[in-house]
Amino acid sequence: MRATDISVETDSFLSPKRSFQGLLLTLQRYWAEQGCVILQPYDMEVGAGTFHPATTLRALGPKHWRAAYIQPSRRPGDGRYGENPNRLQHYYQFQVILKPSPDNLQDLYLNSLYAIGIDPENHDIRFVEDDWESPTLGAWGLGWEVWCDGMEVSQFTYFQQVGGFDCSPVSGELTYGLERLAMYVQGVDNVYELNFNGRDGAERTTYGDVFLQSEQEYSRFNFEHADTEILFRHFEDAERECRALLEAGQAGEERHLMALPAYDQCIKASHIFNLLDARGVISVTDRQSYILRVRELAKGCAAAWLKTAGGGADHA
């Protein structure tokens, strides 16, 4: 499909060129047409869309799976009190996972860019080597960051391992940084000036209207006020709960009954670690040991998941 085949209704307030939400809706519709289940964000604080069990856990085991969803992602250390036009401690990722990765995944991806109005006859789209690794998830894959006119607009990864287990079949994961993409498509240099709803005049709502205050407040929280003692305690609690659930859910050798609740605690531990890191209270050496602790949880959850129906325990 060439860009010229797609009619982008530039006059509509839902045009991806006019509104942030139009961009989200266009991507959702596009991937729905490719057979993805359109999920809602996971209801927990995560650092990236990959943490959603619809990616992490579903990437494991033999069952085929196609899903797309928006995931609010929190990176406490990236907060800038709303003063940096490009950096946010809370932002949206659009995440697509296709398992097994289809042969035409690159074309499917490019068509999604055309769908939001990026014209390949005038824009320079490149696949630049970028291997992905998540030390806390014990996961890695090979792929690229996708550049559009020198700007990174997506991460494109073929998952090789999650939680220390080989992925077979291999999932293809696409992650779009939505604010950045929207800034590009709308042609604005400051994220807070993004048009959110595509309306003009008094009806116009900007990204800043929606999120500036929360960026300021959460930056204060992340960097200055998050009670590190409580956080350390919560980390321990989440770790303990995760281990307890992993043990309690073990039903004989073959099956596990609580992989998902256990994984929630792993997500929680990971996010608390990020908060502690942003508060600057984790030294370089300690950092490594915290990462290892979360990874152990992730590995346990991955092993448990493989003993559930979703993980393919009924196959074979």
Footprint on this chain of another protein (rule: CB under 8 A): 85-86, 100-103, 105-106, 120-129, 131, 141-144, 148-151, 158, 160, 168-170, 172, 184, 189, 283-285
Residue 209 CA to residue 82 CA, distance in Å, equals 12
Q: Nearest distance from residue 270's CB to another protein, in Å?
A: 23
CA-nearest of 276, 296, 299 to 286 is 276
Residue number, 187 or 252, with CB nearest to another protein: 187
Identify the three-state secondary structure at position 273.
Answer: helix
Q: Nearest distance from residue 264's CB to another protein, in Å?
A: 30
Q: How many helices (H) and strands (E) does the chain have?
A: 8, 11
Q: Nearest distance from residue 144's CB to another protein, in Å?
A: 6
Residue 137 CA to residue 164 CA, distance in Å, equals 8
Q: Nearest distance from residue 160's CB to another protein, in Å?
A: 6
Residue number, 40 or 122, with CB nearest to another protein: 122
Residue number, 189 or 224, with CB nearest to another protein: 189
3-state helix, strand and coil shares in percent for the chain, rounded to the nearest 5? 45, 20, 35
Tokens 């991955």 appear where?
302
Q: Nearest distance from residue 185's CB to another protein, in Å?
A: 11
Residue number, 7 or 40, with CB nearest to another protein: 7
User: Where do runs of H (alpha helix) occur along the chain?
Assistant: 20-33, 53-56, 105-115, 178-186, 207-220, 228-248, 259-278, 284-305
Residue number, 81 or 158, with CB nearest to another protein: 158
